Amino acid sequence: MRSALSRLRGLLARVAHPRGAAPTPAPLRRTVSFCTTCLGRRAHLEQTLPANLAWLAPHAGRAELVLLDYGSPDGLGAWVRERFAAELASGLLRYARTDEPAEYHPPHAKNVAFRLARGEILFNLDADNFVGEGTCERLDALFAEAPRRFAVSPVQPDVGGRLGFLRADFEALGGWDERYRGWSIADFDLCERAREGLGLEQVDFVSGSAIR
* Mean pLDDT for the chain overall: 87
Q: Tens of pLDDT along 126-163?
A: 999 999 999 999 999 999 999 999 999 876 544 457 89
Residue type, 185: I
pLDDT of residue 120: 98
pLDDT of residue 174: 97
Q: Tens of pLDDT along 34-65?
A: 999 999 999 999 999 999 999 999 999 999 99
- Among residues of the chain, what percentage have pLDDT more than 70? 84
* CB 122, CB 165: distance < 8 Å: yes
Q: How far is CA 84 from CA 17, 61, 89, in A?
A: 28, 16, 9
